[in-house]
Structure 1
Amino acid sequence: MTSITDPNMSDAFTSAMEEIHNTHLKTYGEIIDMTTELCQSHKQFVKSGHDTCLKKCKDDEMLFETIQMFKRDLVQKKASLKGKQHAVSEMMSEIQQKEMQKDDIIQKIGKLKEEQAKRKELIQSQNKANKNRLRKLQKARVVFQDHLGMEMRTILGKTQLVKGEKLQFVFRNVNPSDQECAYVVTMGIKEDGTYQIVSSDPVLECLPVLESRLQETNNLAAFLANVRKEFISRARC
């Protein structure tokens, strides 16, 4: 066995320790270099991640602002749409009302046309009846004027009671003591074509009865004859 005091052994040991030390230093240096490289790589990775996160945050903020803007715009559009729907509803209601008014007006126009046609027929019928009455009046006028001294006048009433054109029959030769004394009866024609006695002078109490008989018989000559008889009877009292 070699003695530890052997100089060669000491040198060999020292050389071995130096070699081990150099190996360890080399390995340590490699570890340091690797650690440094890993640190740099980690820093770059962290910086890249940080930058990515910042960009993502900014993108998210812009996206959030865009979403909020879209939400506000959507709320405004909903409010505008609601207003337009309300306006459309009111317009449709107004159109329906106008359509109903249109139908009502058309019905009223139709009724007015029917009433106008009936009124026209009535006027034509009244005109025809009035012409017949006028002919009868002319005949009665001739008879009474020539034989009984009666005068027929056309007068225009000024009061509401006798408003319109009336006929006034003036009888003379009634009172034997005063042949020129006038006895008067005033009458007209209603809208329905019937006779209407307005007044008499002097007043005859039986005049309403004579008027009712005239409306039943439509015999004007007989009515005037009866009126004359009543005036004669009154004059003799």
Structure 2
Amino acid sequence: MASIKDLDVVGQFSSKLEEIRTKLLVQAMGEVMNEATAQFCHSHKQYMKSGLETCAKKCKEDETMFETIQAYMEDLKVKSSIMKEKNTELPEILEEIDDKRRHKELLIQKIEKLKQDQAKSRELIQVQNKANKDRLKNLNKIKEIFQERLSLDIRKVQGEKLQFIFRNINHKNPESIYTFVLRINAEGVYQIISSDPPLAQMDHLERRLQETNNFSAFLANVRKAFVALHNATNTH
């Protein structure tokens, strides 16, 4: 059934029906109205009234339905706009996710490399510590030999540094001391820190020690250098 949307048409229709009814009543004024005609007119009036009420109700329902459809259309438009915006952002989001995944992989590789480097460093340190311990044992043996024969004394100074003290260089004053300070660095290399009195050839002796690792010969050459320095000084 088609909906009646123009209420004026309904009004005109009702007015027209009322006019027809009036004419019928005027024409029947002089006649005897039978009961069947009266019932028919009454029934017709009730039918029209019911029809008008039904049309008005249908119009109201249609308006509500149109408003609901319009609201759905607006909501769909908003959601479509949001979806379009999300689709535009999606490639950037995916690219950002890929960048983070690549960055994570690089971090994992760096961590693994650091673990390997640390393991190598620990192994190297252990090897170096063992080598240093062996060197210290040799120094202790050399110390005992030189203490007995060359009046050498070795002392630990300033942490891990060693001071070597020679006596009996000056025969007029056997207790006069000639010293040098040595340390073993992190790489296990011998390094001369200082000597008193200074020896011009100490750098050369240090290089020879690093090349040959012969500490006994190094100590003997240092003592010879101190003796030569003492004799040269006394000569002048």
Bigger Rg, which one = 1
User: Which residue is 1:5 aligned to?
Assistant: none
C-alpha distance in 1, partners of 2:126/2:208?
Answer: 25
* Coordinate RMSD, CA, aligned: 3.9
SS in 1 for 2:160: strand
* Offset at residue 217 of structure 1 (A): 0.5
Match of 1:148 in 2: 150
Q: Distance in 1 between matches of 2:101 and 2:145?
A: 64
- 1:158-237 maps to which residues of 2 (within 5 A)? 164-236=159-231, 237=233
Structure 1 Cα separation of the partners of residues 157 and 94 of structure 2 = 60
Structure 2, unmatched stretches of 5+, are 1-26, 29-40, 42-47
Uncovered stretches (5+) of structure 1, i.e. residues with no partner: 1-31, 34-39, 41-45, 157-163
Q: Which residue number corresponds to residue 125 of structure 1?
A: 127
Q: Which residue of 2 aligns with 1:104?
A: 106
Distance 1:69 1:184 in 2: 100
In structure 2, what is the Cα distance between the partners aligned to 1:98 and 1:52? 66
Give the letter for the 1:226 counterpart.
Answer: N
After TM superposition, the structure 1 stretch with the greater mean CA deviation from structure 2, 75-84 or 197-206, is 75-84
Deviations 1:63-104 (A, max 9, x none): 331222012222343455567778987876665455344423
Shift of 1:116: 1.9
Tell me the percent identity.
Answer: 50
Deviation at 1:235, TM superposition (A): 1.1
TM-score normalised to structure 1 length:
0.66
What amino acid sits opposite 2:160 in the alignment? E
Cα distance, 1:203 vs. partner? 1.1
TM-superposed CA distance for 1:170, in Å, is 0.5
TM-score norm. by structure 2 comes to 0.66
Provide Cα deviations, 1:173-195, integer angstroms capped at 9, x if missing partner: 11122211111110111111111
For residue 188 of structure 1, give the secondary structure of its aligned residue in structure 2: strand
Distance 1:167 1:82, change over 3 A: farther
- The alpha carbon displacement at 1:168 in A equals 0.8
